[in-house]
């Protein structure tokens, strides 16, 4: 994968992640309560997007592209998105889906999930409370990132022991939202 394609894939993945997160939050206020099926599908899309994002990041780094996104990501995945995703709109909507990285990805996804579950449990308690606060405070923010940035200045440092995470600190928060979506119901 070339550096530019990797960047496009990366941007698309981030965009889908943002859209998914806002859908997740919107669904909390939906009449009839959280729909388990919908939440599950959303979390699956987010998982794929996250994996694509990280594997495309790795490709980028391979090609020597500047890892400018690395820093903001460490401060908490979604707050990172706010700075890294200044203008998602101009990005083209290619059928980038087909340009996806090769099929070794599902394997890494499984391993990634296993590795993360342990980390998530570490991160669970501190963020759990803040998640509840967010839920009450937020209506349906377009970009969840802004709320998170304000609410968890403390969490940033918590969530990012740089060397220990399997695939990057930022991932743990996204993974958190994926795994916690269902029990939150």
Partner 1 sequence: MAGPGADMQWCFSQVKGAIDDDVAEADIISTVEFNHTGELLATGDKGGRVVIFQQEIENKNQPQFRSEYNVYSTFQSHEPEFDYLKSLEIEEKINKIRWLPQKNAAQFLLSTNDKTIKLWKISERDKRPEGYNLKEEDGRYKDPNAITGLRVPVLIPMDLMVEASPRRVFANAHTYHINSISVNSDEETYLSADDLRINLWNLEITDRSFNIVDIKPANMEELTEVITAAEFHPLQCNTFVYSSSKGTIRLCDMRASALCDKHSKLFEEPEDPSNRSFFSEIISSISDVKFSHNGRYMMTRDYLSVKIWDLNMESRPVETYQVHEYLRSKLCSLYENDCIFDKFECCWNGNDSVVMTGSYNNFFRMFDRGQRRDVTLEASRENSKPMQVLKPRKVCAGGKRKKDEISVDSLDFNKKILHTAWHPQDNIIAVATTNNLYIFQDKVN
Q: Which of 165, 17, 2, 163 is nearest to 80 (CA)?
A: 17
183 part of the interface to partner 1, by CB under 8 A: yes
CB contact at 8 A, 163 and 10:
no
Site for partner 1 contains 45 (CB under 8 A): yes
How many C-beta atoms lie closer than 10 Å to residue 102's C-beta? 7
Binding to partner 1 by CB under 8 A, coded x per residue (else -) over 78-97, reads: ---------------x-x-x
The rounded distance, in Å, linking the Cα atoms of 111 and 131 is 26
- 40 scored as a contact of partner 1 (CB under 8 A): yes
Residue 160, number of CB atoms within 10 A of its CB: 20
Residues 8-37 that bind partner 1 (CB under 8 A): 12, 16, 19, 23, 31-33, 35-37
Distance, in Å, from the CA atom of 154 to the CA atom of 158, rounded to the nearest integer, reads 7
Q: Is residue 100 a contact point for partner 1 (CB under 8 A)?
A: yes
Residue 37, Cβ neighbours under 10 Å: how many?
7
Closest approach of partner 1 to the CB of residue 106, in Å: 9
Residues near partner 1 (CB under 8 A): 12, 16, 19, 23, 31-33, 35-38, 40-41, 44-45, 48-49, 52, 93, 95, 97-98, 100, 103, 117, 179-180, 182-183, 185
């Amino acid at each position: 994968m070339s550096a530019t394609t990797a960047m496009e894939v990366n941007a698309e993945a981030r965009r889908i992640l943002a859209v998914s997160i806002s859908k997740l939050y919107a669904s909390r206020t939906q009449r009839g309560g959280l729909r388990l099926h919908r939440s599950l599908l959303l979390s699956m899309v987010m998982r794929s997007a996250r994996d694509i994002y990280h594997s495309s990041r790795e490709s980028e780094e391979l090609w020597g592209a500047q890892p400018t996104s690395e820093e903001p990501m460490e401060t908490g995945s979604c707050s990172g998105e706010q700075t890294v995703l200044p203008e998602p709109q101009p990005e083209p909507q290619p059928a980038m889906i087909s340009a996806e990285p090769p099929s070794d990805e599902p394997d890494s996804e499984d391993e990634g999930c296993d590795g993360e579950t342990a980390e998530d449990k570490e991160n669970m308690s501190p963020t759990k409370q803040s998640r509840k606060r967010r839920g009450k405070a937020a209506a349906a923010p377009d970009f969840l990132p802004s709320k998170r940035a304000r609410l968890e200045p403390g969490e940033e440092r918590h969530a990012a022991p740089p060397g220990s995470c399997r695939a990057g600190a930022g991932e743990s928060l996204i993974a958190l939202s994926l795994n916690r979506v269902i029990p939150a119901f």
